Amino acid sequence: MKLMFKQRFFSWFDSYDIYDENGTAVYTVNGKPAWGHKLEIYDRSGNHLATLREQILTFLPRFDIQINGQTVGTITKEFTFFKPSFSVDCNDWQVEGSFLEWDYRILTQNGMAVARIEKQLFNFTDTYIIDVADEQDGLLVLMVVLAIDAVKCNQDKF
């Protein structure tokens, strides 16, 4: 399953449209006013599916993954000097790759590929191609990508 993550050009808060490989809108992501990032994910019918909420007052960025009102995991930026690293406390996933160029992979603990993420260059807004191995992981993979994008956007402001 391939998803295209495209940030909207004009939006006050972070807003994204997520399309499948046929160009059909699959998810809508709307930023909400909050301390830290708060992103709500909706299906194509407008039903709320999940929330990604940044924890405040933490040394390094940390995001809670909430699906159907339940926290199912966290995504945390690790302390490193040269290469950004993220841990995913959900499904025993890990993230590895080159975040500076925005190409990375999500893997299981035993090295099986969950998803591959590539940033598309030369677009007016952030655009990513997300190649998900198992369609059932699509929403959770999207939330990991959103968290990493939020951390990167905050770093670019400084």
The whole-chain average pLDDT of the chain stands at 82
Model confidence band, residue 32 (pLDDT cutoffs 50, 70, 90): confident
Give the rounded distance of the alpha carbon of 107 from its chain centre.
15
DSSP helix/strand/coil, 118: strand
Supply the pLDDT for residue 101. 62
List the domains of the chain with CATH numbers: 2-156 (2.40.160.200)
What pLDDT is attached to residue 156? Answer: 46
Across 25-39, 103-117, 134-148, least confident range = 25-39
Q: What is the mean pLDDT of residues 23-29?
A: 92
CA separation (Å) from 147 to 12, 106, 110, 144? 18, 13, 23, 5
Return the pLDDT at 83: 66
Entry pTM: 0.84
The SS3 of residue 136 is: helix
Q: How far is residue 144 from each of residues 39, 45, 65, 158, measured CA to CA in Å?
A: 12, 22, 9, 22
pLDDT score for 37:
80
Q: What is the DSSP string of 14-49?
A: -EEEEEETTS-EEEEEEE--SSS-EEEEEETTS-EE
Q: How far is 74 from 23, CA to CA, in rounded Å? A: 30
Give the lowest-confidence range in 39-48, 96-105, 106-115: 96-105
